[in-house]
Amino acid sequence: MKLIRRGALIGIGLLFIMAIPWFWDPNEKPEIIFGLPDWAAWSLLCFIGVAVLNAIAWTFTDLDGDAGDGP
Amino acid sequence: MSFGLLGTVCLLVYLVLLVGLAEYARRSRKDSTPSDHFLAGRELGFFVLLLTLYATTYSGNSLLGYPGEGYRRGYAWIISTGMMMSLMVGYQILIPKLRPLSVRENFVTPGDWVLYRYGKEGAGLVLRSVLALLMVVALGNYLLAQLQAMGHVTGQVTNGLVPYSAAVIGLAGFILIYETVGGMRAVAWTDAVQGVLMLLGLGLMLYWISQGEGFSELVRKVGNVRPSAIAAPSDMQRINWISTILLVGIGAVMYPQAIQRIFAARSSASLRRALVWMGFLPLTTTFVVMLLGIAAIPRFSDLGTLEADRVMPMLLAQWAATGVVWQFFAVLVFVAALAAIMSTADSVLLSLGSIIAGDVLGRNTADPKTTKTGKRAAMVVMLIALGFALFPTLSLWRLTELKLEILVQAAPAFMVGIHWKKFKAKGALVGIGIGVFIALVALVLDVRRIWGLHVGVVAVAFNFAFAVFFSCILPADRPREETP
């Protein structure tokens, strides 16, 4: 359970980094994909991935765990 | 029926519905304890919890400020979808530890956790007051943004029948009444109605802008009018993307009104399901709102900074002019936008009341008298915010940035403190002092970015570094008192 959650969180971090259009030239006219400039479509795809991994991460998050004394 | 008259009638129907809900909430209350008033007796189930979290998180900024920002920045504003998702990731750091503690210790305000974690005397007490003040200042700013947005939308929905100042004053009074009467129950239930209206309204708007030429043609048209709006972000903008994700992912997690909804959840299962669904809502909200702002670029050229915040109402007015049915839908979207704004304003106000009563004035959050103090505090805050709202000078997005830059300084005390045992109240206080100092100096000098990063992000990095360093070298805080 913890392993899946950790994996999902690492995946989310990677997707956030990938969502930034590093490899597109701002001076070049973009192609249009799915009604968006190509770089924006790429970012959107990454954000959809984040939403899916977020759902997985929360599904495997224990919110009833023993609180103990806190940290 | 004219647009203004139809808008006024729909607005009145909506307000009557809210009054009915507030009265029902008042009758449903079990006692007058702060827990019942500020947290709805900790009985929020999945559906209401999801919609109240949604309506509270997405506000006037989302419905008016974000289209304005979409208009100003073009497709680069797609980062708004990512930044709202980063909020859910930020919650992953806080909620898994905070939620079980809040159930066991019956926390009402964020300050209750601070006292539990850092001790009820000395530095712990000071830290609670400092964090509460940060939250009050940031939330006051947030409330101001909502009041401004309410004024703009009402002016448009009634086609000028209700002027800006009358709308701001009237609706603020309205919120104050139903929040005071029904507490969190009224706020959460009205949020649920408002959340549904928002989703419906945005769906209708998306349908409208997709009619005719379609989204590919929209990209071409925008590119012809303003090529920079479809261009990939520059290096500096990419840094700004990272900064925005960090600012929201760390800062917005500190929204006390959201933290209190975590306390108010009926069960962990309800909370978990709500958080799963919340992750998808940026795709149906911020992404749609960005498209609306972009759709305005070819329609209205050369709007100024403050004028751009009105692109949503301007689009709706244009939509309404295309036929009677569309006029009704446009009014519906207007009311949805107003609902979004009011739902955030009422949540912020309720939270402010509880924080001022419990954390600033130090009243016992188990004592019914604290509820009354909180209601009075909310009234005073609303009056002060009204004074500022009548003379708007900043864009809605700028107000949001300012709020986050202040609020983010509270993050190390919560996010590090909840995980690291050796993190000390004194260290946290030093960090906050440094962070707030940097943010204030930047505000005075009107510096908004440092190397492309938001000032708040740079400030919180220093805040974090100093807090950790001083936690390592300072003597231990007083030991925490045992809970009964």
Annotated domain spans of chain B: 3-408
Confidence of residue B205 (pLDDT cuts 50, 70, 90): confident
Cα distance between residue B264 and residue B172, in whole Å = 25
Report chain B residues whose CB lies below 8 A from the CB of A14. none
ipTM attached to this prediction: 0.92
The larger pLDDT score, comparing residue B467 to residue B314, is at: B467
- What does each C-alpha distance from B274 to B277, B341, B435, B464 come to in angstroms? 5, 21, 33, 30
And the tokens for B36? 């019942």
A-facing residues of B in 243-262 (CB < 8 A) are 245
Whether residue B216 lies within 8 A of chain A, CB to CB, comes out as yes
Which of B46, B78, B236, B418 would best serve as a mutation to test chain A binding (most A beta carbons within 10 A)? B78
Residue in the block written with tokens 């991460």? A57
The reported pTM is 0.87
Is A70 within 8 Å of B279 when comparing Cβ atoms? Answer: no
Residue in the block written with tokens 């003040």? B133
Is A9 within 8 Å of B89 when comparing Cβ atoms? Answer: yes
B168-198 pLDDT, tens digit each: 999 998 888 888 888 888 888 888 888 888 8
Is A58 within 8 Å of B275 when comparing Cβ atoms? Answer: yes
- What pLDDT was estimated at residue A37? 97
- What pLDDT was estimated at residue A12? 96
Question: Is residue B437 classed exposed, middle or buried when 0-12, 13-18 and 19+ CB atoms within 10 A define those classes?
Answer: middle
- Per-domain boundaries in chain A: 2-59
- What pLDDT was estimated at residue B409? 92
The DSSP line for B359-378 is IIS---TTSHHHHHHHHHHH
A-to-B residue pairs, Cβ atoms closer than 8 angstroms: 131
Confidence of residue B115 (pLDDT cuts 50, 70, 90): very high
And the tokens for B205? 């708007």
- Residues B373, B112 contacting (CB under 8 angstroms): no
Q: What single-letter amino acid sits at B391?
A: F
Cα distance between residue B238 and residue B289, in whole Å = 21
Report which of B235, B238, B243 is spatially closest to residue B405, judged by C-alpha positions. B243
Weakest-pLDDT range from A46-50, B17-21, B81-85, B105-109:
B17-21
SS3 category, B32: coil
The answer, yes or no, to whether residue B480 has pLDDT greater than 60, is no
Report chain B residues whose CB lies below 8 A from the CB of A50. 82, 85, 89, 279
CATH top-level class for B3-408?
mainly alpha
